[in-house]
Amino acid sequence: MDFVVTTLLNALTLISILMLVGLGLAISFGLMNVTNLAHGEFVTVGAFAVYFVQSVGGSFWLGLAAAPIAGAVVGCILEFAIIRHLYSRPVSTVLATWGVSLILQQGLELTFGLGAKPVTPPIEGTFDLFFTVYPAYRLILIAIAMLTLLGVVLLISRTSFGLDIRTVIQNREMAEGVGINTRRTYAIAFTFGAAIAGLAGGLVAPLAIVLPQMGVNYLANAFFVVIVGGVGSIGGLVAGSVFVGGLTSVLNYQISPSLAQAIVLLAAIVAVRLRPNGLFNGASR
């Protein structure tokens, strides 16, 4: 029972991280149809924000508050300087964001130097769950991720801004016809997605190796999550996170992480082949 509960909680931790990273990507890729290869660097920027705050004597929580702000600033600059000029040129967007990804990695390396950066979790102890004891910080991470997901769902479904986003997604020309500023809506949505990715980076920093290149792995998994679950759907995001995160966690106990990643990729390809529209909102073909 101890092994089963621990495995499930480890899977839920990874699922929570993938959900947050995928949530930001779902907004830019799934909703705005922008293939942003620099999305992983928003995660990296969030992690380095926590590291920087701690390195100058600040608390983890102050760093965690700074993480989404750092992600939002970088995302806003990227959207204003590059993305907004390339909405109708998807291939150019891929090349441009790939270049930005490399620039951000080198910029962080020049600023903070080589080598992994230590980030101390706010709580070192464990929590007794009757069947097992589990690191308290991981439970906090899961709770914050779930609350963030709930907040985004309420934002999209219950606010006028969420209505604007859904209108622009369904028909951009009609949205402009009824007076919605689509350019501003896209800019805010992209920045918001970058902020969520920054928050994910801040949360995962105590559990990961904080390096300028750390965002690459999260980018690949985030694309798996969004595509497998179903593009443009919060339910699909959750389904994709459970599929990728759960399978990865289970396989990591049995085989090497690199082989586990290869098997997850193969499983994702099979899932997309069987359900092209996604596990959540696609019909089998």
pTM of the model: 0.90
pLDDT at 235: 82
3-state SS string for the chain:
CHHHHHHHHHHHHHHHHHHHHHHHHHHHHHHCCCCCCCHHHHHHHHHHHHHHHHHCCCCHHHHHHHHHHHHHHHHHHHHHHCHHHCCCCHHHHHHHHHHHHHHHHHHHHHHHCCCCECCCCCCCCEEECCCCEEEHHHHHHHHHHHHHHHHHHHHHHHCHHHHHHHHHHHCHHHHHHCCCCHHHHHHHHHHHHHHHHHHHHHHHCCCCCECCCCHHHHHHHHHHHHHHHCCCCHHHHHHHHHHHHHHHHHHHCCCCHHHHHHHHHHHHHHHHHHCCCCCCCCCCC
pLDDT for residue 137:
94
Domain ranges of the chain: 19-213
What is the structure's pLDDT at 1? 65
pLDDT for 281 equals 60
> pLDDT tens track of the chain, all 285 residues?
677 888 888 899 999 999 999 888 887 776 677 888 999 999 999 999 999 999 999 999 999 999 999 999 999 999 999 988 887 788 888 999 999 999 999 999 999 988 899 999 999 888 887 778 889 999 999 999 999 999 988 988 888 888 887 777 777 777 778 888 878 888 888 999 999 999 999 999 999 999 999 998 888 888 888 888 877 677 888 888 998 888 888 888 888 888 888 898 898 888 888 887 777 764 433
